[in-house]
């Protein structure tokens, strides 16, 4: 069974939320981990807050980008510096339930053929109010299914480091960089495996990608092109994506 996990947390001007995110990592029932916070040239107290956690818990490390690089390159930076063979991502405004890593590692042990694991997702608004909607995680998700709906929330994933080194997230802010990475990983692993428990609490921001539906749709199409999806397949997948998106966000 895999044991040690490197948690990568990109952070930019996250002083309002990052403490809760870090606390949720340190509260994991599976404690064999390190947390690498990649500060992307924040102008607020983000770095100071992280340093306080570093003093309290040696599992926390602060990495500093030399220039503002964006979330993709920040995650790639963390992956390169990671000490362990398994990577988990958590954004600096999201949180985990305490059993998140434990449940995923148990699942990974029973699926040695796979490299990508994820959980169901619950949603909270900017004030921390939780929605009744849950994005469920089927036991198996194939690449063709992921084209129609990205149900693999980045902050819920557990991925083999070697896969992420071969398929780093693309430095393109006009695509869904995480989806492009998962599609690449699923070119070489049979399927992604889900734990259907809402172990991720995802914060929905009206100003972010999740809050701008039209922008998200454009980025979805550009992601297909970046992932070299054939045009006809991309068109059919995009239609299904649009229909599912309407249902999803009407429920949150």
Q: What's the CATH number where 169 sits? A: 3.90.550.10
* E strand intervals along the chain: 5-11, 33-39, 60-64, 86-89, 95-96, 116-124, 130-135, 140-141, 158-160, 192-203
- Tens of pLDDT along 46-99? 999 999 999 999 999 999 999 999 999 999 999 999 999 999 999 999 999 999
Burial of 184 (0-12, 13-18, 19+ CB in 10 A): buried
Whether residue 211 is predicted with pLDDT greater than 80 in this model: the reply is no
Q: How many structural domains are present in the chain?
A: 1
164-181: average pLDDT: 94
User: Which tokens belong to 177?
Assistant: 């960089």
Is 0.75 topped by the overall pTM?
yes
Note the pLDDT of residue 245: 65
Share of the chain above pLDDT 90, in %: 75
User: 28-37, 88-97, 142-151: lowest mean pLDDT where?
Assistant: 142-151
1-21: average pLDDT: 94
Q: Mean pLDDT across the chain, nearest whole number?
A: 91
Note the pLDDT of residue 246: 54
Whether residue 247 is predicted with pLDDT greater than 70 in this model: the reply is no
Residue 83's domain comprises 5-251
Contacts of 7 (CB under 8 A, 6+ apart): 25, 33, 34, 35, 36, 87, 88, 89, 90
Note the pLDDT of residue 2: 65
């Amino acid at each position: 069974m895999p044991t040690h996990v490197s948690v990568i947390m990109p952070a930019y001007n996250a002083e309002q939320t990052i403490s809760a995110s870090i606390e949720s990592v340190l509260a994991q029932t599976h404690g064999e981990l390190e947390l690498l916070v990649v500060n992307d040239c924040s102008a607020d107290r983000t770095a100071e807050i992280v340093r306080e956690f570093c003093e309290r818990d040696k599992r926390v490390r602060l990495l500093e980008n030399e220039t503002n690089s964006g979330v993709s390159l920040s995650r790639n930076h963390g992956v390169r510096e990671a000490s362990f063979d398994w990577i988990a991502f958590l954004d600096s405004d999201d949180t985990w339930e305490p059993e998140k890593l434990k449940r995923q590692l148990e699942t990974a042990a029973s699926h040695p053929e796979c490299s990508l694991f994820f959980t169901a997702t619950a949603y909270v608004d900017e004030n921390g109010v939780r929605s009744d909607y849950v994005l469920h995680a089927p036991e198996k998700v194939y690449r063709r299914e992921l084209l129609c709906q990205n149900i693999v929330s980045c902050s819920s994933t557990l991925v083999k480091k070697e896969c992420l080194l071969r398929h780093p997230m693309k430095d393109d802010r006009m695509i869904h960089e995480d989806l492009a990475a998962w599609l690449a990983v699923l070119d070489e692993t049979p399927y992604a495996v889900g734990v259907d428990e809402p172990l991720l609490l995802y914060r929905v921001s009206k100003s972010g990608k999740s809050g701008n539906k039209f922008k998200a749709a454009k980025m979805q199409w550009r992601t297909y092109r970046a992932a070299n999806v054939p045009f006809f397949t991309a068109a059919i997948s995009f239609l299904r994506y649009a229909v599912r998106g309407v249902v999803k966000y009407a429920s949150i």
